[in-house]
Amino acid sequence: MAELPQSVAYSAWYQILIKAGFILISRGKVGEMYAVPGHPEWILILRTDRLSIFDFVLNTLVALKGEVLTALTHYWLSTVLRDLPNHMVWSTQNENWNAAVDLKKVYPFLPVERCLVIKRCSILPFEMIYRLLLGGSVWKSYLKDGIVAGQRMPENMQKWGRLPAPILTPSTKADTGHDINISVQEFYEKAGTIGHPADDLLREAYIRCIAKAAKAGIIIADTKFEIGIDEKGNPMIADEVLTTDSSRFMEEENWREATDNGCDPAFYDKEVVREVGRSVEFRTASGEIIKGINNLEPDNPEHLALVHAWKVPEKVVSDTTERYLEIFERLIGMSLEEYQHKHMGVE
């Protein structure tokens, strides 16, 4: 399980769920996954308000963050992606609600606003990162030789320029340390026969969501998917989907203005936290000064302790909440609370 600061290591519902008979299966940077009593084919995933950047979990909570992640995943899978293979278990009360609403009848304490019941499935050890705009972690690779994940990119592109079509830039998932970027060909070789069908499925999902967001004047610059495998060995969409933790969102108008002026657009995700994280300086026991959390190693105990001791500025935390809520409302066309009540069965 992920190395977390002690103060945020477990959600406020952890002890309650354990006492009620739920079993903690895994604890990620943000999510907690539980086995559901009496339903061996189900998993309850609870999204906390924890915050992570550069593979480190920070010593803070971002208000409503877990609720936004849950609602966004619910929105995409209950609308645009409803007909694509995915891991959601739907309610017997309302076809658009998640089965977490059904569980709440038995477990009244369950925070439906941050919980989803999903099907048990295997998850392949890859991060499937799709990009519509050329920027972020692959920009240096493009500047070096024009190659990104083994693919030749168009010449003379500017940072955050729009690609002719979305590209895949996969990485391997690491239990400790940083994920390792690989080429598309390496992914196909490592994934075997599931590689091409998984790519086709997730690429289709991304393209659909790009089109939907565009109607609201929003660009989904990039996103990260997980590959789930169903009982027949076929790929399906799993884990969080097109959320503010797994994707970069921006307003199209702002993007046009920024790229015309050679600037970075305004991001509606946790980029504001990453920016601060890149600028903070840490002093090691040997006296070495290291600038930026992105230059620390999460499997180094000293680096881990330094990051866990760092206090994220309150303004950065509150700004992150505001950005998450704002992009949710822009995308969905209603407030988080209204969506939860109308579409998720939250009382």
The answer to the question of residue 203 being in a domain is yes
Residue 115 sits in which domain range? 11-120
Query: Do residues 135 and 240 both lie within one domain?
Result: yes
* Last-in-domain residue among 241, 260, 279: 260
The answer to the question of residue 302 being in a domain is no
User: In total, how many domains does the chain have?
Assistant: 2
The CB-side HSE value for 307 (13 A sphere, CA atoms) comes to 31
Query: Do residues 106 and 127 both lie within one domain?
Result: no
Instruction: For 2-44, write each residue's pLDDT tens digit.
Output: 589 999 999 999 999 999 999 999 999 999 999 999 999 999 9
Burial class (CB in 10 A: 0-12, 13-18, 19+), 119: middle
Query: Do residues 194 and 157 both lie within one domain?
Result: yes
- The answer to whether the beta carbons of residues 147 and 141 sit under 8 Å apart is yes
Task: Work out the number of other CB atoms within 10 angstroms of the CB of residue 217.
Answer: 14
* Last-in-domain residue among 88, 120, 152: 120
- List the CATH number of the domain containing 68: 3.30.200.20
Instruction: For 157-205, write each residue's pLDDT tens digit.
Output: 999 999 999 999 999 976 555 778 999 999 999 999 999 999 999 999 9
Instruction: For 284-307, write each residue's pLDDT tens digit.
Output: 999 999 999 999 999 999 999 999
Give this prediction's pTM.
0.95
Quote the distance between the C-alpha of residue 135 and its chain's center: 18
